[in-house]
Amino acid sequence: MIFQFTLLVTLGFIGQPDHHLTSDQINQIAPSHAKVYTRILERVGNTVRLSGIEQEVIVSPHIRLPRISEQKSDACLSLRLMSHGDYLEIIALLGEFDFSVVIEEQLSIRGQAITDSQWKQVYSIDRFLVRESSSSDRWSVWESLRTENPNHQIAWLKLGGDFFSGSKYLNDLIWDSGFENLASQAGLHPFGPTWISTYALAKQLGLTANTNGFVSKSRSTLLNQAKHGLGEMLDKASRKSSNAGFGLGSQRKSVRAAWGDPQKVDWVRFDQHMIEHWTYQDRHVRLINGRVYELKKSTEVSLKSN
């Protein structure tokens, strides 16, 4: 089967020209050097974004890359990358190549990985193939990658949820194939008339993803605020209020005495600190370790900003 792709990325270790990786695999194994067949998605200054690669990628000063508009639609660039730990650097432009050979190669590698039960490698190649296929071909490409291995079927359904969450096609396939249990194990959820991914469900419920799972938007805001401004929060909470008993640095009891009980309370712990968000009808107050560090009306104009 020949797949039409709008973008291809294949990586290989220097010194191992026959060992090719997909761009998704580089996120898992982080090779020190790699050859990359790719199309550049975006460039700002000397920083570029490559499909399937999570790390920041910079361009070495002596490398001249073609403009995005100059890239041929039926070819891909060949680049050499070097890893610097938290970012990658393009150190050589090797040329521009027809990517049909890369497609065939990845399908061949996938077949051998299935024979060897290398299911993580299979899943990485699957994600690469589905993501890089055209929107009109993406569903048929995903369907064609199904195997009879139960563990792979779970990963395969999760991949389907990432790309087709809420679609009638995905819903019909799950019900018609009797995949309800596998779909649940893959992190899909029946929601109304369709099956949706965990991220889609979280969005429906007003939750936000973070490193610990999913939290409410208010709790996510508190965590982000603490991560980037804990010192400032503690400094404001330590102030003596010039108001008669209520302002920055005031205790919980002063807030309740002035405004009454809140309609809703969200709280998180961060580095041994208790951080709270009290919601009232037209305003909110935030506290750290029981003392106020922020007071705002619903218009987001701070009542006590100094």
pLDDT of 299 strictly over 70: no
Structure confidence by residue, pLDDT tens digits, 75-103: 778 888 999 988 999 999 988 877 677 78
Residue 29 lies in a domain: yes
169 & 220 share domain: no
Of 74, 101, 128, the one marking the end of a domain is 101
Q: Is residue 14 part of a domain?
A: yes
* Cα-Cα end-to-end distance for the chain: 66
Tell me if 110 is assigned to some domain.
no
pLDDT tens for residues 30-49?
Answer: 778 888 788 899 999 999 99
Q: Of 181, 204, 227, at which residue does a domain stop?
A: 204
pLDDT (tens digit, 9 = 90+) per residue, 143-159? 999 999 988 999 999 99
Please list, residue by residue across 113-147, b when 16 or more beta carbons sit within 10 angstroms of its beta carbon and e when fewer do.
Answer: bbeeeebebbbbbbbbbbbbbeeebbbebbeebee
Dihedral pair phi/psi, residue 58, rounded to 5°: -115, 160
What tokens were used for 127?
């994600």
Q: Which residue has the tokens 């909110």?
A: 284
Domain count, the chain: 3
User: What tokens does 188 get?
Assistant: 């899909």
CATH number where 16 lies: 2.40.50
19: confidence class by pLDDT, cuts 50, 70, 90: low
- Residue 168 backbone zone (phi > 0: left; psi -120 to 50: alpha; other: beta): alpha
Reported confidence tier of residue 285, pLDDT bands at 50, 70, 90: very high
Q: Based on the domain organization, do 177 and 253 belong to the same domain?
A: no
- Same domain membership, residue 187 and residue 157: yes
Same-domain status, 238 and 278: yes
Flag whether 5 is in a domain.
Answer: no
Determine, yes or no, domain membership for 211: no
Mean residue pLDDT across the chain = 83
**CATH at residue 286:** 3.30.1450
CA diameter of the chain: 77
283 located within any domain: yes
Query: What pLDDT does 57 receive?
Result: 94
Q: Which of 4-13, 118-127, 190-199 has the lowest mean pLDDT?
A: 4-13
Instruction: Find how far residue 224's CA is from the centre of its chain.
Output: 16
For residue 108, being part of any structural domain is answered with no
Model-level pTM greater than 0.85? no
Residues 92 and 155 in one domain: no
pLDDT of residue 74: 66
In a domain, 304, yes or no: no
Are residue 232 and residue 154 in the same domain, yes or no?
no
pLDDT 10s digits, 111-129? 999 999 999 999 999 998 8
Q: Does residue 225 surpass a pLDDT of 90?
A: no
Q: Which domain covers residue 134, as residue numbers?
A: 117-204
Q: Which residues pair with 265 in a beta bridge?
A: 278
The full DSSP string for 187-232 is TEEEETTEEEEHHHHHHHTTEEEETTEEEEHHHHHHHHHHHHHHHH
Residue 222 has pLDDT above 90, yes or no: no
Instruction: Single out the residue of 62, 48, 53 nearest to residue 31, CA to CA.
Output: 53
